Every structure is written in structure tokens, then in C-alpha cells.
Amino acid sequence: MEKVLIFDTTLRDGEQSPGFSMNLNEKLRVAKQLEKMKIDIIEAGYPRASEGDFEAVREIAKIVRDAQITAIARTDPDDIDCAWEAIKGAAHPRIHTFVSTSDIHLNHQLLKSKEEVLEIAKTAVKRASSYTSEVEFSTMDATRSDRDFLCQIIKTAIGAGATTVNIPDTVGYALPLEYGELIKYISEHVPNIHKAVISAHCHNDLGLAVANSLSAVQNGARQVECAINGIGERAGNASLEEVVMTFRTRRDYLKLDTNVVSEQIYPTSRLLSHITGVFVQPNKAIVGDNAFAHESGIHQDGILKEKLTYEIITPESIGVAHTSLVLGKHSGRHALRERLKDLGYEMNKEDLNQAFSRFKELADKKKDIFDEDLEAIVADEVLRIPDKYKLIYINVVSGSVTVPTATVQLELEGKIIQEAGFGDGPVDAAFKTIAKITDTKSKLLSYSVDSITGGTDAQGKVTVKLEEEDYTVMGQGAHTDIITASARAYVNALNRLAYLKKSPEKAIKDAV
């Protein structure tokens, strides 16, 4: 299958964007990772920008031996000479020079005529080709340029020695069909175009960089310039991971592929994020945290039956360990059952329904449901002994100038009983009211509260130890509200006491 060359500009155009500057060691780490991905061309930087940039490009040229290393340079002779000095130690060096071609740039920035720009381009490419056989020439702001002049300057650059001609959508202005037509027009109207590779370099100002790049390839381009995580000037460049995985996923339609080792995509994305401190948004295609995460019950059910139902690429193909079924308020029984199964809990239908009801209640209150939350639900709802007492409702009023008052509703052998009581604090008021309803004389030996997970919305797990007659029992309860968790724990302990009193031999057997 025909291959499209991937030109990575993370270390040049990507680093130019605010907040993405990297030091020498960081650039070397990224360059090594790009080589591991088998990127075809790595644009290592702009050597003339600073001594630091020069040093970084030179060091990258020394350590990367498989990929072509290119340095960008304006058409200024000193820029081109500086670029060559930086990359001459590379195993496969390339010089990338550029000049503006649109009337907007010529009239307002360069202040030069088209004839002058043609001569500048010719001279620059000749100078670069005297150093290396791999020379790339870019027509900056090509998509807003006069097409005939564009074809003329490309012809001139190829005649002077350019082996790659880049047609940048510098300001992200083009639409996919329009950009594809421009590439086709150039292919048909530049007589020596067969001597060079056409490259696409698209910016994402309108969110069309990847679409434009693909349109270019469908119309004859065979090199795509892109960046990890889509970083770059303003809204960024075409996202490398999106471009590569589109080729990989739609080979059936595009009939093209790349040399990139896709399993290194996610590790590379994470490396760049950790180095720069700028992480991609969760819904970012391919590498976002939600790219392989499913919360909808319908989607989760489909994924568990056959991944192809809702995933067009596998997480493993980009270096992610597995699909993530996020448990939340939209999740269904199927996903909950599978997660509980992974945690070691095999559920019958009745127990699953009981756990699911509590899970939904928790999911409405808590943003993230962790495995520890699920274990607490199982312990609280499924694994407990038969209930003599069931907590239906609790409301506590407390404060620095208010007498703590608890109103509790319990179900006792099918009968609903409600009482109110006072205490030294909200928990004490709750416990005394529960004891009043159940007519129990238990002694509270210990009371402790732990957070099951992190975060302000975490469930609290309360453990109580009660003593009555010759029995000592532990009770536990979990809830996002500590008072409710405390009441659950107290009622759980009372149920254990009732169970022991009713059938101590059976209780001992069950415990064993």
C-alpha cells in the first residue's frame, strides 16, 4: 500500500505556540520518542532563532539516525547557512526554506513585487541545495495566493533544486474541497511537479486542519505536516494522531497508510503533555481521556457484547491499555455487573438489583464512582445479614446555637415507625433516636469515620462497635452524608446483634 510521509513539526511550529517552550533535554526526549514512532521527517526547530534553538537542532541531528532531520530557514542566506551548520551532522539532513506568496503578505509584510519574490525563492533554494539534496520549499499563505503565481514560484523552486514543495494553509482559511482543488490545480499546472513531493501544512483556525490535510492527500499530496496533540501557532496544526489513525482506520477507502508505529501515539502524547504541563481536553480525538471511555448504559452494553458496536479503533492500537467503562448515572446493570465481577463479586439477579439501586442513588450525588465505592455498596447492601431493622429516613438539625435533633424513620418487621430525639451532637441524636425506636440498650464502644476515596464528594465509611449482654458486634455504613452513614452503621450493628440473639449457633456457622 502506498505510504504518505509524516512530517512532524512539534519541535518547531508546535513549540512556537504560547506555553509550549521546551529546553534542550526536553526536546531531545521528544525527538527520541518521535524516532521510536518512526516519524519520517522531524522538523527539529529554527536554528537562527537563538543559540539555544541552534544547539537543540544540532543535538537532535546527532542522536536521531533513522528519520530525516530538517531545520527551517527564511530565504535569508545567513538563515540557510545557520540551518545547515545545525543539521549537517544528521544522517538524513533536510533544509526547509519558505517565502510568502499571497498579495496580502507581499503588499503589507514583505513589501516586495512578485518578480522580486521569484528571484528570492530561486536563490534561496539553490543555496540550500548546494548543502543537501533534500530541500523543502514552502509558499507561505498559499491558500490566499494567486494560483498562477503560486504555480510559477513552485516551478521555479523545483527547477532550483527543491525536492518537496509545501502548500501551507498558513492561517487555516481554506475549506476541504477548496484546498483539495488547489492541490489538484498545482499538480496539473506545474510542469515539473513530478520531480517533487507535494506537502500539506494546515492550521486549525476553523477546526479543519485534519480534514484539509486528508483532502490534499486525496488530490495528490504525499506528505502531511502535523504535530503531536495538534499543537502549533494560534489554534494549532493538524493533529498527528488524528491524521495517522484516519489513514490506519480507513485504509479501505483511502488506500494509503503511514510508517508510524501507532502503538506509540498515546505514550508520545502523554510525554509532551507532561513536559509542557499542557494536557489535551478530555474529549480530544484519539488521545483524550474520554476517547475510549463509555458511560452510557446502551453503549456499555454494546461494548461488552462486541467492541465494534461503539469503537472504530482499539485502544491497544494507540498504546492505551484497555477500554474504560466509566460508572456513572448513565450506566446500566450490565456494566455494573461486569465491574463487580472484576472485583470478585458474582451477583444473582436479586442482589444485583439491590446493588444497582444503591449505585444509581450514589451516582446522582457523586461525580466519579470508584471501585472502593462499589465495594462499600456490596458490603452495605448485599453481604449484610438479614435485616430486622431497615433505615428508611433520617433528618438531623444541628448547629452551634441549636439543640441537635434527629428525626428517624425505621421499618421494623414490615411496620414503619418514626421518632425524634435529642443528643449532644448530630450523631448522638441519631443513635439515641434509633435506640428509642428499636428499644435496645446497646453500649457504643467505638466510632470511626474514614473517607473511601478522595474528593469533597467522597463517600464516608463509618464503623461502630456495639456491646449488649454478652455480644460485641461491628457495624458499617457508607454514604456521601456522614450522618446517614453513621445511622446505617448503627442499624447494621443492631441487626447483627438481633441475628446473634435469635440464632447464635447459626451465626457462628455463617461466620465460619
Please write the tens of the pLDDT for every residue from 423-470.
999 999 999 999 999 999 999 999 989 876 666 667 788 889 899 887
- Strand 402-412 to strand 256-257: parallel, antiparallel, or no bridges (unpaired)? unpaired
Decide: helix, strand or coil at residue 134.
coil
Domain ranges of the chain: 2-276, 293-381, 386-511
Q: Which residues contact 211 (CB under 8 A, 6 or more apart)?
A: 176
Beta partners for residue 325, in sequence order: 294
CA distance 76 to 83: 11
The whole-angstrom separation of Cα 227 and Cα 6 is 10
Contact call for residues 122 and 156 (beta carbons, < 8 A): yes
Distances (CA, A) of 34 to 8, 96, 191, 227, 488: 8, 19, 35, 11, 55
What is the distance between the alpha carbons of residues 232 and 50, in angstroms, rounded to a whole number?
A: 19
Q: Mention the CATH class of domain 386-511.
A: alpha beta
The CA-atom distances, in angstroms, between 345 and each of 219, 377, 394 are 56, 12, 30
The residue ranges of DSSP E strands in 128-263, in sequence order, are 135-140, 164-169, 197-202, 223-226, 256-257
For residues 23 and 64, give the distance between their C-alpha atoms in angstroms, rounded to a whole number: 17
CA dihedral 352, 353, 359, 360 (to 10 degrees): 150
Secondary structure tally for the chain: helices H, strands E: 18, 18
Residue-wise pLDDT tens digits, 281-318: 889 999 987 777 766 667 777 766 777 776 778 889 99
Q: Indicate the CATH number of 2-276 among 2.40.50.140, 3.20.20.70, 3.40.50.10800, 3.40.50.2020.
A: 3.20.20.70
Tens digits of pLDDT across the chain (512 residues): 899 999 999 999 999 888 788 989 999 999 999 999 999 999 999 999 999 999 999 999 999 999 999 999 999 999 999 999 999 999 999 999 999 999 999 999 999 999 999 999 999 999 999 999 999 999 999 999 999 999 999 999 999 999 999 999 999 999 999 999 999 999 999 999 999 999 999 999 999 999 999 999 999 999 999 999 999 999 999 999 999 999 999 999 999 999 999 999 999 998 998 888 888 988 999 998 777 776 666 777 776 677 777 677 888 999 886 665 566 677 777 878 877 776 666 778 887 888 888 788 877 776 667 666 776 777 666 655 567 899 999 999 998 888 999 999 999 888 999 999 999 999 999 999 999 999 999 999 999 898 766 666 677 888 898 998 878 887 888 888 899 999 999 998 898 888 777 765 444 444 43
What would the pLDDT profile of 210-262 be if each residue is shown by its tens digit? 999 999 999 999 999 999 999 999 999 999 999 999 999 999 999 999 999 99
C-alpha cell, 209 = 486542519
Phi then psi dihedrals of residue 467, to 5 deg: -130, 135
